[in-house]
Structure 1
Amino acid sequence: MIIIKNNKEYKSVYDCKNSISDYNLVLFIKKNNYGYNRFGFTAAKKIKKAVSRNIIRRRLKEIVRLNEYNLKESYDLIFMAKVNATESDYKSLEKSYMKLIKRKNLYKGD
């Protein structure tokens, strides 16, 4: 899994204005020319406790790591956790992830 680290790269994905959301997550998508996917993970600043933000980000990273092989390639994907994600467990975050990926036709399947 390749992580987007540069602030400029995060901004370029946000500026693309291609996003989709559900109760827990917002997914920002931008096509890239690398031939592989890059991922970014953020949590809304409205989630006041840093511990909560970090737990959610770690859960999202694990969900993506386990399901990365099912994604179409050449995309920059940023997952942003909403405030509602603090009450969600791993399974509901995974369900949100799958729902967003399938709605944007990024799911390759088995």
Structure 2
Amino acid sequence: MKKALRLTKNLEFINVYKSGRRISSPFFVMYIKKNDLGYSRLGVSVSKKVGKSVVRNKIKRQIKEIIRKNYDFINSGWDIVFSVKPAAVQLNYAQIEKEIISLLKRGRIYNDKKAFNLVNIVL
């Protein structure tokens, strides 16, 4: 994922936490806030309660890959932060992907109608 598409500064994370909407599941908490950039940015926050650095980095890599694969279906102009709960360690990649997409849909920022339109263009 390109650096321009990520939240990198602590101030950016705090801004999304304080003034964004919060949507939670048993494994993740998603914070979303509208931005004026014309593209969406992602941030991932994993506490030390989740596990050692290898486990934390693995979950971050998986979430970033899921967002990268589904980036075209996410509406433009949003700052998105995923906070990982300790229970997420027991999930495999497919389960994490299902949870992330479910949260994006609940936040009304995931548009899978684009996938339908792309299929019609190809046919």
Same fold (TM over 0.5): yes
The runs of at least 4 consecutive aligned structure 1 residues that moved more than 2 Å come to: none
Give structure 2 stretches of 5+ with no counterpart: 116-123
SS at match of 1:5: coil
Larger helix share, 1 or 2: 2
SS at match of 1:19: strand
- Asked if 1:36 corresponds to 2:39, the answer is yes
1:23 aligns with 26
Taking structure 2 as the reference length, the TM-score comes to: 0.85
What are the within-5 Å matches in structure 2 for residues 1-110 of structure 1? Answer: 1=1, 2-109=5-112, 110=115
Shift of residue 9 of structure 1? 0.5
Shift of residue 17 of structure 1? 4.5
Aligned residues: 110
**1:4-42 alpha-carbon deviations (Å, 9 max, x no partner):** 101101100011141101121110101000000011011
Amino acid at match of 1:34: L
C-alpha distance in structure 1 between counterparts of 2:87 and 2:41, whole Å: 25
Amino acid at match of 1:72: N
Amino acid at match of 2:35: N
C-alpha distance in structure 1 between counterparts of 2:47 and 2:102, whole Å: 20
Larger Cα Rg: Structure 1 or Structure 2? 2
The range that moved more, 9-18 or 69-78, is 9-18
Shift of residue 48 of structure 1? 3.2
C-alpha distance in structure 1 between counterparts of 2:14 and 2:50, whole Å: 21
Q: Taking every aligned residue pair, what percent have the same amino acid on both sides?
A: 36
Task: Answer yes or no: is the 8 Å Cα contact 2:29–2:85 preserved in 1.
Answer: yes
The range that moved more, 9-18 or 27-36, is 9-18
Taking structure 1 as the reference length, the TM-score comes to: 0.95
C-alpha distance in structure 2 between counterparts of 1:100 and 1:83, whole Å: 17
Structure number with higher relative contact order (C-alpha < 8 Å, ≥ 6 residues apart): 1
